[in-house]
Structure 1
Amino acid sequence: MLRAYKFRLNPTADQKILIGKHIGSCRYVFNWALAQKIKTYEETAKSVSQFELNKQLTQLKKEQLFLKEVNAQSLQGMTKQVESAFTRFFREKKGFPNFKSKKNSIQSFPIPQSYYVDFENDIIKLPKLGNVKAVLHRRFEGNLKTATVSRTSTGKYYISILVDDEKPIPEKQEFIAETTIGVDVGITDFANLSNGEKIENPKYLKASLKKLKALQRQVSRKVKGSNNRMKAIYKLAKLHEKITNQRNDFQNKLSFKLICENQAIALETLNINGMIKNHHLAQSISDASWSSFVAKLQYKAEWSGKTILRIGRFQPSSKVCNNCGYYNRDLTLKVREWFCPECNTFHDRDVNAAINIKKFALIDQNLITI
């Protein structure tokens, strides 16, 4: 089973310069490879393979001598990334690959092999960089796969190591209605569970919005290229990083709790890209980051042998009475509580939605019938 481990790096000043060269060179090769793919297709209506790109890369290194200062395998890793991006575009319709920019908040480069982790001395030996001090806060066992060194906009360095522990993926555990929980994500409450529990939405972005706006004004008032502007940008990036870390910490703890307490979790398939087109809700939806939460649930479920159930995007949940099945057509978004006129049952709209999500998911699995 493949698992990724992330560690903080503490490189020396010279190593930071080398990491910067690796990041810049890999970005250059990625953009060059992407341009070659596009140009070849426009001229010949054929796709140039990764093998051909690697052959051309040898010639490119003779023309651009700065590419010889970095790890050759890292450069070849970028042609592999371009090939993978095109594969996702054609097979999975994930969107056409974009050129990399040095303005992105996180800059990184891959190390496919030839690195070593020394847990005894808290050192990771990397090609061209040598021994780099690291905070190895947990150990792992298994075969080392691709590692990725990254630098954040606040100047922190990390390494993500993909490890194959050679253990099989756990078999899915059996589940019944009693060991399944329905989850309805929302804005007022982050998650509403079918057992009636409500998880409060921390709204980290909204809590820091006033300070964010103040820092953004400071950046806009500084002279471009000045040291004061760089300091203001650093403060702004630091606050953005704090919000991201708070959100990830909250979602990791909640997803771990749900996975540990249940054998199966039922979720609704949401059209988030369509929902954020509503300018009144876009910021709140982005702040909640539902996609990130669902992704955490999915990989934790795979590691634990648990099951994620999904219901269709157009299956009604909040407007249907979970007791008698009455469909309330007149229910608007601002109405959060309602009585069923058929069975006179009181409904909290969000909890009712979570119960129906669980119910529809179990019907699809033939575990219950209407």
Structure 2
Amino acid sequence: MKAYKTEIYPTKQQKQLIHQTFGNTRFVYNDFIRINLENIENKRPILSGMDYSKQINHDPNTPEWLKTVSSKALKHAIMTANTTIWNYAKGKIKDVKFRKKTKHNSFYLIGTIKVERHRIFVPTLKWLRLKEYGYIPKNIKSVTISMKNGRYYISCLSHEMKDERIATSDVGIGIDFGLKDQFITKDQTFPSINKSAKVRKLEKKLRQKQRSLSRRYEQNMTDKVYYKSGKRKGQLKSFKWKRPLRDCKNIQKQQLLVNKIHERLARIRTDYNQKCLQSLLEQKPRFISIEDLNVKGLMKNKHLSKAIGKAQWYRSRLFLQNQCEKLGIELRLIPRFYPSSKLCSACGCENNQLKLKDRYWTCENCYSHHDRDINAAINIENCQDYTVLTTV
């Protein structure tokens, strides 16, 4: 199976129906979870998803607005909640969370789905205009419609089985992930997009919008209490809202502006990283070697966490793994504690005195002068202790 996701342009009436479906699926999900949490607390049997679905279909007290959207979307939300509550009852998950309006805006549809060059037909919503022409194939089995930061998307699931493997060359590539430079190989260096004028301009705009948002939150706070001693001295301890945040429309508008800039920055970085990796994949290497980076641990470093978050190392690794799986290229994962930067790629001597600030160093054994990142990329490529992540 393969998924295709693209943006859609619904009409005003379709937007209204989409938002109503978001709300209705969220309502049945939360209502089902609430009922069963009460059943578990009172030691009563769990109400199954099928029984709950029959209950809302035949109960005369069921609100009419619940029947105005696709029944398939409601049924899928109920069965998702059913899986969640049973996982909680069996101890597979520690806690059950209710869906929130600000985070969970999506629903699933099956039925008659037709695809044309510039539009797609889905149940209830009828024809939806697509942003990308000719991207989605004809044989679509199901769709998921979602919204994020005021933009609408459709994810289509196809059951096509297509062999896209390629004939590879005899050479491999070792990739070192960095901060100053995004990707480094022994022959190529891709600079970080975060240093570009475009990203810096957007980050400056983001800081301005965030300051404005922070002031609006401050104006809505009352009864503030601050820490008087300890490490948090002077920081805000507790407060009360003058008005509920759901009634503060200007805060919501400003929050949407901040979210849109965050999303735009993430898209720019992701697009750049994927294009860099794609250019390496076009060389048709026999294998690609990367390091097993402890991103979660590195994010605890307060001096580097912001830069590491912007670098999107883990997302780049997932993209590389998916592409290698599709093209039939062997992806090798080098052990986490392999000293790729400290080993001399010429003689193999290890420099234990190397520090993070040292960008260049000279081997004391063979006197070879190394660029830290290029040397690491060569050692990653030549490393024979690895785990294969993809099937060829």
Q: TM-score, normalised by structure 1?
A: 0.82
Aligned letter for 1:100? R
Q: Contact between 2:49 and 2:82, CA under 8 Å: does it hold in 1? A: no
Q: Contact between 2:5 and 2:153, CA under 8 Å: does it hold in 1? A: yes
Q: Contact between 2:32 and 2:81, CA under 8 Å: does it hold in 1? A: yes
Shift of 1:39: 6.4
Q: Contact between 1:71 and 1:127, CA under 8 Å: does it hold in 2? A: yes
Distance 1:298 1:89, change over 3 A: farther
Spell out, residue by residue over 1:295-321, the C-alpha distance to the aligned partner (whole angstroms, 9 max, x if none).
111212222222211111122211111
Which of 112, 125, 128 is the aligned partner of 1:132? 128
Shift of 1:289: 0.8
Spell out, residue by residue over 1:93-127, the C-alpha distance to the aligned partner (whole angstroms, 9 max, x if none).
999775432223x73222234322233xx332222
**Matches of 2:280 and 2:6, distance apart in 1:** 26
**Matches of 1:83 and 1:185, distance apart in 2:** 42
**Matches of 2:332 and 2:164, distance apart in 1:** 17
Q: Contact between 1:175 and 1:264, CA under 8 Å: does it hold in 2? A: no
**Matches of 1:88 and 1:286, distance apart in 2:** 32
Please say which of residues 332-341 and 4-13 is displaced more in the overlay: 4-13
Q: Contact between 2:139 and 2:158, CA under 8 Å: does it hold in 1? A: yes
Aligned letter for 1:320? L
**Matches of 2:85 and 2:287, distance apart in 1:** 34
- Quote the residue 2:367 is aligned against: 344
**Matches of 1:337 and 1:147, distance apart in 2:** 52
Q: Contact between 1:117 and 1:123, CA under 8 Å: does it hold in 2? A: yes
**Matches of 2:93 and 2:381, distance apart in 1:** 29
Distance 1:280 1:96, change over 3 A: farther
Aligned letter for 2:174? G
Q: Contact between 2:299 and 2:305, CA under 8 Å: does it hold in 1? A: yes
Structure showing greater radius of gyration is 2
- Quote the residue 2:27 is aligned against: 28
Q: Contact between 1:7 and 1:136, CA under 8 Å: does it hold in 2? A: yes
Distance 1:213 1:161, change over 3 A: same
Distance 1:356 1:89, change over 3 A: farther
Distance 1:364 1:130, change over 3 A: closer
Which of 264, 267, 276 is the aligned partner of 2:299? 276
Aligned letter for 2:5? K
**Matches of 1:95 and 1:317, distance apart in 2:** 39
- Quote the residue 2:376 is aligned against: 353
Which of 192, 196, 200 is the aligned partner of 1:201? 192
**Matches of 1:255 and 1:43, distance apart in 2:** 55
Spell out, residue by residue over 1:241-295, the C-alpha distance to the aligned partner (whole angstroms, 9 max, x if none).
2212211221221122121112321111111111101111111111111111111
Distance 1:133 1:258, change over 3 A: same
- Quote the residue 1:215 is aligned against: 209
**Matches of 2:315 and 2:86, distance apart in 1:** 23
Aligned letter for 2:123? P
More helix as a share of residues: 1
**Matches of 2:346 and 2:293, distance apart in 1:** 24
- Quote the residue 1:101 is aligned against: 100
- Quote the residue 2:152 is aligned against: 157
Q: Contact between 1:170 and 1:302, CA under 8 Å: does it hold in 2? A: no
Distance 1:162 1:59, change over 3 A: same
Spell out, residue by residue over 1:222-250, the C-alpha distance to the aligned partner (whole angstroms, 9 max, x if none).
46645544443333232222212211221
SS in 2 for 1:310: strand
- Say yes or no: does 1:192 pair with 2:184: yes
1:197-346 equivalent positions in 2, closer than 5 A: 197-203=188-194, 208-222=202-216, 225-261=247-283, 262-346=285-369
For structure 2, the residue ranges without an aligned partner over 5 or more in a row are: 221-244
Shift of 1:159: 0.8
1:164-175 equivalent positions in 2, closer than 5 A: 164-167=159-162, 169-170=163-164
Count, aligned residues: 352
SS in 2 for 1:128: coil
For structure 1, the residue ranges without an aligned partner over 5 or more in a row are: none
Aligned letter for 2:160? D
Q: Contact between 2:26 and 2:99, CA under 8 Å: does it hold in 1? A: yes
Q: TM-score, normalised by structure 2?
A: 0.78
Shift of 1:338: 0.8
* C-alpha RMSD of the superposition: 3.4
Shift of 1:172: 7.7
Shift of 1:7: 2.7
SS in 2 for 1:150: strand
Shift of 1:136: 4.2
SS in 2 for 1:76: helix
Distance 1:309 1:151, change over 3 A: same
SS in 2 for 1:78: helix
- Quote the residue 2:142 is aligned against: 146
Shift of 1:56: 2.1
Shift of 1:214: 0.8
